[in-house]
Amino acid sequence: MKNRMKLIGVGGLPRSGKDSLAELFIQFGYFGISLGDLVRGFARERHKDTPDPISVANMTETSNWLRERQGVDVFLQEALHQFNEHRSNGKKDKGLVLWSIRVPLEVDWILNHGGELIWIDANDAVRHQRHLKHLREGELPISLQEFKKQEALQWQPQPGLAKEAQMDISYVKSRATKLLTNNGDDIEAFKAEAEKALSHLLN
C-alpha cells in the first residue's frame, strides 16, 4: 500500500454508527471494507443451525475460533486482498477505510501505517433501540441486559483462548486518534457532524 494513501480505521460497540461513518468516507472517494461483514459471512455458516447465527455472541465465537486457527490477521489479510484486487483493476481511491476494528493487531497495523483510528461512542440504551429497530437477517430481538452481556465478550479477552487472537474493544478505544459521539436518531445529522469534524481526512 502506498504511503501517501489515506488509511482510516473505525471502531465502536455494536450499533454505534460504524457503518454510517464508513458510508461517509466511501461517499468521499474511499474504498471500504467491513471486517464485521467478513465475520458475519463465516458466522452464518458456522451457526446456521441456530435461530440467530449473527448474534454478537455467535460472531464473537466465530471470530475467535477462526483467528486461532488461521491467524489473528485472517480478516485483515482478506480485506487487504480485496483492496489490492480492486486497485489492480486500475481503480483509484482517496484511501482505504476499514471498519469494525476489533483486535489489537488491526489497531497496531493501522497506526503503524500512519492511519487514523476513529472510535464512535454511543449510549447503551440508544444502541439497544437501534438493534431492535434495525434487526439484520440472522438476529433476534434481545433485552438490553442480554445485549450488554453479549457485547461484554468483546470488551476484553476471554479465558481459554490465546489473548492476541481475541477481540479486545478496550484496546481499540484506548488507541483511538479521533473520538465521535453518536447518540441521536438522525443518520444524516450524524454524518453532517462527522463531515465537519473529519474534513481534513475527507477532503
| Least confident residue range of 45-49, 151-155, 158-162 | 158-162
pLDDT above 90 coverage of the chain, percent: 86
Mean per-residue pLDDT for 13-22? 97
Q: Distance between CA 100 and CA 102 in Å, rounded?
A: 6
Read off the CATH number of the domain in which 168 is found: 3.40.50.300
Q: Contact at 8 Å (CB) between 43 and 59? A: yes
Structural domain includes residue 157: yes
Q: Contact at 8 Å (CB) between 138 and 37? A: no
Q: Is 132 exposed, middle or buried (0-12, 13-18, 19+ CB in 10 A)?
A: middle
Per DSSP, 162 falls in state -
What is the span of the domain harbouring residue 152? Answer: 6-197
**pLDDT bucket at 3, cuts 50 / 70 / 90:** very low
Residue whose cell numbers read 473529519? 198
Structural domain includes residue 203: no
Whole-number pLDDT of residue 4: 62
pLDDT of residue 107 exceeding 70: yes
Whole-number pLDDT of residue 124: 97
**pLDDT bucket at 158, cuts 50 / 70 / 90:** confident
Strands 116-121, 6-12: parallel, antiparallel or unpaired by DSSP? parallel
Structural domain includes residue 1: no
How does the average pLDDT of the chain come out, rounded? 93
Whole-number pLDDT of residue 2: 45
Q: Distance between CA 23 and CA 31 in Å, rounded?
A: 10
pLDDT of residue 63 exceeding 80: yes
Q: How many domains does the chain have?
A: 1
Structural domain includes residue 202: no
